[in-house]
Structure 1
Amino acid sequence: MSEPPLRTGITGLAAVSALGRGVQAQLAGALAGAAAFGPVRRFDVGGRRTTVAATLPDASTLADELAGVIDEACTGLTPAERAETPLLLGIHGHPDAGRSATATTAGFARELAERAGLAGVARIYTCACVSGSTAVADAAASIRAGRSGRVVVAAGYLVEPDQFALFDAGRALAKDGVARPFSTGRSGLVLGDAVSAVVLEPFGDREVLAEVAGWGRAGDAHHVVRPDPDGHGMARAIGDALRRGGIEPGAVGYVNANASGADGDGAEAVALRKALGAQRVPVSSTKSVHGHGLEGSGLLELVVTVLAVQAGKLPATAGHLGADPACDLDLILDAPRPATSPYALSVNAAFGGANTAVLVKAS
């Protein structure tokens, strides 16, 4: 008889965003529902179509911010435990790539692992907005199968001039500087700082903050930047997460959606209805307050999702102007709702048609 799969627990959390430093700042900001958007002062945005983002005023370098959250997430680990724990890192690339011949993403990741006293870098994820969530899925799969022990997953993005210029030139940024997920009148996303780290390990003696109960990954194979309007890929990812978690759609008590306030929100609504059926699961998007953190977004949103179900309060979507018939969901609006289930989904999508869903269960 084969051994039952191991359960994957989250035993450490840390995060930084425009909502503030530390996980409690993320939860408080998400529940307050006040968007942390403001004029960009980190670099020159003169001549840009939009000039707003969600940035932390005292942010240091990306290397320092990542090192800080990794160290904070690993607070409960001894130096010996750190020395046997690998790092999985989600990142766009070395922040100085293109400006220095010696600036490599592998070298950047290696330095982070060394600063935290970790065993080294097991893998680097550069798969856009699903980087952090894909790393979590890989770590959970490896732990469940008994191939890995403890793993640290980190992901980060700080709003910087290159990506800001690209998204602005592509008219992807909100014209009014406000992210309005699933809302009528939405005009695009707002970029935001997102730096997070989590410690994953098999259930054991250490306190588990939440369980990674299931995960799913699927591709649309539809368009380079546009999601499948029928939502097949995202629906499949959600279905796989529920199957791995051994639960029916009705057991899900909350979805932290990918929705950023862009055209793709409608396709995501289709996917959610397809995957969850007739169940009216409460949905919100915390990007409406902390912005879209690109490679760092999936992990930050997972952290916020875990904190919300732990606290028993589900954050509302900010910036909502009115119902969009294409986004017919049970949206949490105006004020947080009480959680009615320990199960929640954090859903993400990326250019190229990549989709992820991570199912967590609060302890």
Structure 2
Amino acid sequence: MPTPRPTTERAAVVVTGMAVTTAFGRGTDALRAALAAGEPAFADVTRFDVSRRRAKRAAHLPGDPVLLDELGDLLSQAIDQAGLDAATAAATPLLAARHSDASWPRQPLTAQADCHSAATGSALAARAGLRDARRTYTNACVAASTALADAAALIASGRAERVAVAAGYLVDQDVFALFDAGRALADDGALRSFSAGRRGLLLGDGMAAVILESASAAERRGALPLARLLGWGRAGDAYHVCQPHPEGHGMARALTAALARADRAPEEVDYLNAHGTGTSYNDSAEAAAIHRAFGAHASRLPVSSTKSLTGHTLEASGLVEFAVSVLVLQEGLLPVNAGYTGQDPDCRLDLVTDAPRRLKPTTVVSLNAAFGGANTALVLGAV
């Protein structure tokens, strides 16, 4: 298949295949049902010993799943849903996002060359029958959303007809210990995004794969899009190594850039899937960013953080929450902001509390932020 030539016109980007796994279970239908039920997936950690930890809970699958196996299965599901034949898949590049493998530095030096993130991305592409892994992203909680933005830019500019994106994180002992020692994990067993009395985040298993392609390429194949990726924005605030700017400057710039690229006014957005980690600094800064970017519409914009249901899936969160946003467009049901105990004066938002809210949105936004002041926003549209 010839490589598409760049054009001066921006190609429309659509989602034609999607698969996702969280602690609720394997497959998109498990997540769909969980979002409708609105009950968090947190339970006592059984994957490793937490008897000496402050926090005892996370959202994880039973047993000890293998990340590459799980992602390989999800990519196969997404490729099948998109209707890609073997030859088309073999011409499709992969952008992958993942957490660093905790076992890598413990391997013998002779084996480490085959264990780093770029090598595992290449192995994943080969396993799924894709062309190659152009990049593997490890830039914290915006790894997957950065991969999505780069994939969309490749397609919109005409440099690729379609791109596969995969991302994954499995709750592991090293990160759990690190976050617990830093008192970032909620010791009351709940992730209470934007809530008064919130006590921190909780980790969660999350893996997803999507196929993005140009609308014209999908139409030629007769593929039915699941959603449109209308716009994307990225911005940094360089305020602090692990705290966002308290006024949300970076997140607000990412939101404004994404809306401008999508050609959408703030009041045209029907729902925002927030980063919402349940930490004091993030949630108040994010609320400030939403008000800064959306102005008067911020008080009327429904907001929830599905991390309150799935846990924080770290490098995979941008893609897991992108999948949530697609399901919101399809189902017309806004996920609940679980664990809410009352309003924080610094987080005055129209939060979806108590139960999912019925609404048929046409435009939704997914917002993510990361250590180091990195911020991303993605605007999705219904088909």
What TM-score do you get using the length of structure 1 for normalisation?
0.98
Supply the AA of the counterpart residue of 2:290.
L
Match of 2:239 among 205, 217, 222: 222
Q: Where does residue 201 of structure 2 map in the other structure?
A: 189
Question: Which amino acid counterpart does residue 13 of structure 1 have in structure 2?
Answer: M
1:57 to 53, 59, 62: 62
Partner of 1:91: 98
Paired residue secondary structure (1:277): helix
Shift of 1:3: 4.5
What's the counterpart of residue 212 of structure 1?
Answer: 229
> Of 59, 79, 87, which residue of structure 2 is paired with 1:80?
87
Residue 341 of structure 1 and its aligned partner are, at CA, apart by 2.9
**Structure 2 residue 71 is the aligned partner of structure 1 residue 66:** yes
| Residues 1:267 and 2:279 aligned together | no
Which of 311, 317, 321 lines up with 2:331 in the alignment?
311
Q: How many residues align?
A: 362
Query: Which residue, 121, 126, 129 being the options, matches 2:133?
Result: 121
Residues 221-247 of structure 1: CA deviation (Å, up to 9, x unaligned): 100001100111000000000000001
What aligned pairs does 1:190-339 form with structure 2 within 5 A after superposition? 190-204=202-216, 205=219, 206-263=223-280, 264-279=282-297, 280-339=300-359
Q: 1:105-142: CA deviations, max 9, x gaps? A: 22211111111010011111010000000000011111
CA distance in 2, matches of 1:160, 1:59: 10
In structure 2, C-alpha distance between the alignment counterparts of 1:58 and 1:150, rounded to whole Å? 35
Structure that is richer in helix per residue: 2
- Shift in Å, 1:303: 0.2
Aligned to 1:36: 41
2:4 corresponds to which residue? none
CA distance in 1 between partners of 2:225 and 2:75 (Å): 17
Matches within 5 A, 1:351-362: 351-362=371-382
Q: Compared with structure 1, are the counterparts of its residues 344 and 131 closer, same or farther at alpha carbon in structure 2 (3 Å cutoff)?
A: same
Q: Is 1:11 matched up with 2:16?
A: yes
Q: 1:58 to 1:12 in 2, by over 3 A?
A: farther
Greater mean deviation of Cα atoms: 218-227 or 100-109: 100-109
Counterparts of 1:21 and 1:362 in 2: how far apart (Å)? Answer: 25
Q: Secondary structure at the match of 2:95?
A: strand
Deviates more, 1:50-59 or 1:211-220: 50-59
Q: Letter of the 2:173 partner, please give it.
A: P
**1:330-352 per-position Cα deviation (integer Å, ceiling 9, x unaligned):** 11111222224310000000000
Q: 1:134 and 1:267 mapped to 2: Cα distance?
A: 20
Give, in whole Å, the separation in 1 of the partners of 2:76 and 2:323: 16
Measured in 2, the distance between the counterparts of 1:107 and 1:309 equals 35
1:139 is matched with which residue: 142, 147, 151? 151
Aligned partners of 1:178 and 1:190 also within 8 Å: yes
Moved more, 142-151 or 242-251: 142-151
Q: Which ranges of structure 1 fall in alignment gaps of 5 or more residues? A: none
Runs of 4+ aligned residues of structure 1 deviating over 4 Å after TM superposition are: none
State the alpha-carbon separation in 1 of the partners of residues 355 and 101 from structure 2: 39
Q: Which residue identity does 2:211 align to in structure 1?
A: V
Q: Is the Cα contact below 8 Å between 2:227 and 2:329 reproduced in 1?
A: no
Query: 1:177 is aligned with what amino acid?
Result: G
Could you list the per-position Cα deviations for residues 82-106 of structure 1 after superposition, in whole angstroms to 9, with x for gaps in the alignment? 1000110001223531121322222
Contact 1:182 1:261 in 2 (8 A): yes
**Counterpart contact for 2:47–2:64, Cα < 8 Å:** no
Q: Is the 8 A contact 1:156 1:196 kept in 2?
A: yes
Query: Which SS does the other structure have where 1:273 is aligned?
Result: helix
- SS of 2:229's equivalent in the other structure is strand
CA distance in 1 between partners of 2:54 and 2:101 (Å): 27
Partner of residue 106 from structure 1, selected from 118, 121, 143: 118
Deviation at residue 61 of structure 1 after TM alignment: 0.6
Contact in 2 for aligned 1:94/1:108 (Cα 8 Å): no
Is it true that 1:46 corresponds to 2:46 in the alignment?
no
In 2, the alpha carbon distance for the partners of 1:81 and 1:99 equals 38
Kept after mapping to 1: 8 A contact 2:118/2:135: no
Q: How far is 1:309 from its partner? A: 1.6
The answer to whether the 8 Å contact 1:87/1:153 transfers is yes
Identity %: 51
SS state at 1:93 partner: coil
SS of equivalent residue, structure 1 residue 111:
helix
C-alpha root-mean-square deviation of aligned residues, in Å? 1.1
